[in-house]
Chain A
Amino acid sequence: MGSQGGFGQSKEFLDLIKSIGEARSKAEEDRIVLHEIETLKRRIAEPDIPKRKMKEYIIRLIYVEMLGHDASFGYIHAVKMTHDDNIHLKRTGYLAVTQFLNEDHDLIILIVNTIQKDLKSDNYLVVCAALNAVCRLINEETIPAVLPQVVDLLRHQKEAVRKKAVMALHRFYQKSPASVNHLLSNFRKKLCDNDPGVMGATLCPLFDLITIDVNSYKDLVASLASILKQVAERKLPKSYEYHQMPAPFIQIKLLKILALLGSGDKKASEQMYTILGEIMRKCDSTSNIGNAVLYECICCISSIHPNPKLLESAADAISKFLKSDSHNLKYLGIDALGRLIKMSPEIAEQHQLAVIDCLEDPDDTLKRKTFELLYKMTKPSNVEVIVDRMIDYMISINDNHYKTEIASRYVELAEQFAPSNQWFIQTMNKVFEHAGDLVNIKVAHNLMRLIAEGFGEDDDTADTQLRSSAVDSYLRIVGEPKLPSAFLQVICWVLGEYGTADGKYSASYITGKLCDIAEAYSTDDTVKAYAISALMKIFSFEMAAGRKVDVLPECQSLIEELLASHSTDLQQRAYELQAILGLDAQAAASVMPTDASCEDIEIDKDLSFLNGYVQKSLEKGAKPYIPESERSGMVDLNSFRSHEQHEASAHTLRFEAYELPKPVIPSKTATPVMQSSSSSALVPVPEPSYPTESFQPVAPVSSTSDAGSSDLRLRLDGVQKKWGRSTYSTSSTSNTDTLTAQNGAPQRESVTSSNSRAREFSYDSRRQQPEISAEKQKLAASLFGGAAKSDKRQSPASQKVSKTPTQAVEKSHGVKSAVSESALADKIVQPPPDLLDLGEASVSSAPTSVDPFKQLEGLLDLSENTCTLNSRQGSASAPDFMSLYGETTSNEQSSRVVDPLSGFSTTTTAEMNGHGASTGTQTTQQLSKGVSTKDSLERDALVRQLGVTPTGQNPNLFKDLLG
């Protein structure tokens, strides 16, 4: 510490820093700093302070501000200091203002003049200081004041100045592209600057420009490639070498730009191949920076038009990264792998084990990156493993931001690839349990719909099973404390709809549970609304079935409590429930039909049932309804206030966007007709209004949030909206019947959702996968290889229907798709070395020519066969073996198998027996060679049935598959 005197600061400053350094608590530190602020305030206001002292005060101010305290009292002194002629002080002044002020601060205007002057200075260091300040302090309005000087400085004799001028111009472009649009050609010119530093600096703005508009810079490809070549060949001055690499940062920027330019452009890409190959070859992979360049090369290779040779060397580089001990390199390896699997999906296979290792790594960053990769690699055959892993990880982290992200990701995966609905429901239960408040409410609605719709068509037993298993699992879960609201809504709805459906549970048991929920979560109105609607359903089902309804005492007290509820929505529900209890069996059945959530509701958009009423009113002298569009110019009392506000605000500049037109404003003009119509609607046409009640899952949300605004919704979009928010009206089954959901609705939706990412997991849009996002599709296509894409990505519901074609198409792909299919799951099940061998073997056999049509024919038959057999659960193992064997043969001996049909039908049983019995482990290996989701799932089940004990090297991994 003795050397401190040499730093040139006053004793005071040293003491300050020392005492802050020794402060034991934040409070103590604050006290010291506040004291310092007081001292500075006093000192700085003294007259005639020596400049050197002033400089130290300013530095102390920066220090104080760095510690998080307000030093605004000293800003003006910093501004004053920039005016000083002494460059030392001037630089300190500039430093202080760039730290203190943002570009819109009032004091900036006092500096602009100084900056202008300094930009013209003879001393280039002054110019540099001013340019530094320009980057930070000039805003859109002040750009014109300094722009001419900055442009002049592009031709300054000192390269340091030119470099900074380029940066300043770039900054202007970032802040206000319009103001420098005519100067963009300067960047191109500066690319040819004699000084490599200036050229390197120019790459930054060029990168931004090219990101925005690739096409107008295609002509640069050749020159950029040649610059890269020169750099790589060490044509730059020695001083640009860094750790024996020639100008690596410039190389990286160039590679980034080339990646942009070459993306999807074969001609441009071809100009880069040579130099990329050269760099890949030359790169020194022992140093950090060498690997950075190597990694950038891989990124570039995976973004431009593919070249097999380069892809190969990229794959080699990746495997080196992954095998490295350095976490940084592993991280880059995983990232690069994620990029490259878009191009060549099979490369992931070689690195399965490395990837799994990264997943178990204590490094969180690496783990996340790996999950990102897995997310990209997910397919039906490995979705269970991946999602299980994700859930485990999600439960283990506390970071809500990332939890939400990973939850939404895995909901997305589960929705896309779910091998069975049962699995989907169980998975969803876990999401709700652990991240219920973080997931989108849509997810809950999708789940309800899935349970309601079941597998889709004509498989009633499966649907019933699904529902009872859902009911079972929910009854188990419901007793747990503190469930999230969204989950409770699902539970209530499902219990209401299907709680008594299979006769396993008595009505009083279910109603008791529902009352418990309403009581336990008495602060959550939405949950209570769901619960009471569920009660309503249960009671009316009971009545319709002719049984006597006994209302439990706690239920009675709940109803009474809600009758007096402050929430009009809850109150109405309670009254409705009371009314229903008074009805006879037949009426109750028509009010609350059993399992009607998927039924069609006929919607009378024109409200024609009101015609008579309207006519009558008109005859009595009521004003006719004027559509909103023709209503302009009419100012009624209701809109007066908001109108006034508009007037008032019209005088000043409005910076924010105009708000959406308020629906409330004109509504009252139409009230005589509309309001009464909404209330009378219940009477003349009971059909459309009563079903609403049975679709409570949708209604409560809407009515609690905008209760009492039914006239508003009526007015807005026709009657359809009356039963729910616009969001739900299209996407929920409750309002659209199954038929429309499959035919009509998706068509309608596809228009809107074609742009939306798959992340919005609307169920309907899931069905429309092929139209949803081209990007994702491409990814899937590359993951699965070719034509399988559209069929593969269907939702579980539709999967069943289209199963046969799916299999056929896949099979026609023969070995190739099977190979790419053998995903993580396979690797995990198989002992690692075998796995690799097998994978490679099948890859090598991939190109063998098999007549796809013959295979297709054969498989069509085969798969039908398998299907029917599989449905018989008792003998499920036999056909499984058969199909397994079929796959083995087609995988490994595809060149020989020409017509699988004949092969199978004749030899099945005998071969199967021999094959299946002899090699237990081998069976396990092939078990997971999935062709379709269903097959792989069944095979999973088979493994469990057989009780095969894993013999792999990593027993942990087996847990995933074998439970």
Chain B
Amino acid sequence: MIRAVMVMNTLGKLRLSKFYDFQPMEKQQELIRHVYAVLSSRPENVSNFVDAESIFGPDTRLVYKNLATLYFVFVFDSSENELAMLDLIQVFVETLDKCFRDVCELDIVFNYSKTQTILDEIISGGQLLETSSTEVMKTVEEITKLEAASSSSSSSLLPKSLVAWRQGQ
């Protein structure tokens, strides 16, 4: 089971978090601080796996990936495969990339709910739901279309490209 997903920047600012078993807010903050402390102390060119037992309790591991200014962190237990989790991060990032065209930190900050939607399509209740980024994109696009239709006034969840296109009109 996947316990938590976090996205934080290299300065330790949280950009996205989702805990699949409920943690009170203070606890969440504490966990995030610990995770950041561990990640920031890791040298370059080492493995992407960290033993997270001292942070999240027994039988937990953590996989992280540092992309540009962001750390993507997945916390999970022994029922998952570390390397596969690393690729799941890849799937997540690829999907974000498809969605935002060269995703950057700001895209995640400003499109919080959309990022969450993507994550929800990939992981549900701590289990791997969908691993094909094209499939995820299909669903997300449908949701976007529907949302756009239902609230024509708002364009906040549209991809940048679409917004630009609208503005161009």
A residues in contact (CB < 8 Å) with B: 3-4, 6-9, 14, 17, 20-21, 51-52, 55-56, 59, 62-63, 65-68, 70, 86-89, 91-92, 95, 99, 102-103, 123, 125, 128, 131-132, 135-136, 160, 163-164, 167-168, 170-171, 197, 200-201, 204-205, 207-208, 211, 239-240, 242-243, 247-250, 252-253, 256, 288-289, 291-292, 295-296, 326-328, 330-332, 361-366, 368-369, 399, 401-402
Contacts and interface: CB of A to CB of B under 8 A. Distances in A.
B81 A296 contact: yes
B86 A164 contact: no
A201 B126 CA distance: 12
B84 interface: yes
A164 B124 CA distance: 7
B123 to A, nearest CB: 9
A800 B48 CA distance: 47
A239 B138 CA distance: 11
Contact of A200 (B45, B86, B131): B131
Contacts of B26: 68
B129 A201 contact: yes
Contacts, number: 195
B23 to A, nearest CB: 9
Contact of A327 (B45, B125, B163): B45
A3 B102 CA distance: 14
A168 B81 CA distance: 22
B151 interface: yes
Interface in B36-92: 42-43, 45-51, 53-54, 79, 81-84, 86-88, 90-91
A205 B139 CA distance: 23
A365 B47 contact: yes
Contacts of B43: 362-363
Contacts of A361: 46
What's the interface size class on B, roughly?
35 or more
A717 to B, nearest CB: 33
B14 A66 contact: yes
B18, B22, B87 pick with most chain A CB within 10 angstroms: B87
Nearest to B45: A327
Given A8-B158, A167-B127, A204-B127, A289 B84 contact: yes
A6 B164 contact: yes
B112 A59 contact: yes
Contacts of A402: 51, 53-54
B154 interface: yes
Contacts of A250: 131
Contacts of B90: 288
B116 A95 contact: yes
B88 A249 contact: yes
A135 B124 contact: yes
Interface string B98-115: 000000001001111100
Contacts of A131: 124
Consensus secondary structure, chain A interface:
helix
A252 B131 CA distance: 12
A291 B124 CA distance: 25
Nearest to B33: A68
A366 B14 contact: no
Contacts of B117: 91, 95
B84 A292 contact: yes
B79 A256 contact: yes
Given A168-B125, A368-B51, A295 B156 contact: no
Contacts of A59: 112-113
B130 A163 contact: yes
A211 to B, nearest CB: 8
Contacts of B46: 327, 361-366
Contact of B124 (A132, A208, A288): A132
Interface string B140-169: 001100110011011111101001100100
Contacts of B50: 364-365
Given A59-B113, A366-B47, A164 B129 contact: yes
Contact of A52 (B81, B135, B151): B151
Nearest to A69: B25
Closest 10 CB pairs of A and B: A8-B156, A292-B83, A327-B47, A401-B54, A135-B125, A363-B46, A102-B22, A88-B147, A68-B29, A204-B127
B17 interface: yes
Given A7-B110, A103-B22, A289-B83, A132 B154 contact: no
B56 to A, nearest CB: 11
B87 A288 contact: yes
Nearest to A211: B79
A123 B54 CA distance: 44
A7 B154 CA distance: 10
A325 to B, nearest CB: 9
A515 B90 CA distance: 64
B167 A6 contact: yes
A364 B47 CA distance: 9
A702 B4 CA distance: 44
A296 B143 CA distance: 35
A46 to B, nearest CB: 19
Contacts of A369: 51
B125 A170 contact: yes
Contacts of A211: 79
Nearest to B145: A125
Given A68-B25, A125-B143, A136-B125, 16 more contacts: A52-B153, A56-B156, A59-B113, A63-B112, A102-B24, A132-B124, A163-B130, A239-B134, A239-B135, A240-B131, A242-B132, A249-B131, A292-B84, A295-B81, A326-B47, A332-B82
Contacts of B151: 51-52, 86, 88-89
A89 B156 CA distance: 12
A294 B153 CA distance: 50
B93 interface: no
A374 to B, nearest CB: 16
B83 A123 contact: no
Given A8-B163, A295-B81, A65 B25 contact: yes
Contacts of B163: 6-8
Contacts of B127: 167, 170, 201, 204-205
Contacts of B79: 207-208, 211, 256
Nearest to B29: A68
B150 A242 contact: no
A164 to B, nearest CB: 6
Given A59-B113, A242-B91, A52 B154 contact: yes
Nearest to A171: B125
Contacts of B150: 86-88
A366 to B, nearest CB: 6
A88, A132, A136, A253 pick with most chain B CB within 10 angstroms: A88
B47 A62 contact: no
B132 A7 contact: no
B47 A328 contact: yes
A170, A292, A332 pick with most chain B CB within 10 angstroms: A292
Contact of B83 (A170, A201, A328, A362): A328
A250 B135 CA distance: 15
Contacts of A253: 128
A135 B21 CA distance: 10
8 contacts: A17-B109, A66-B14, A67-B14, A168-B125, A249-B128, A288-B87, A292-B81, A327-B46
B156 A9 contact: yes
A242 B131 contact: yes
Contacts of A95: 113, 116-117
Contacts of B110: 4, 7, 9, 14, 17
A128 B121 CA distance: 10
B81 A328 contact: no
Contacts of A399: 54
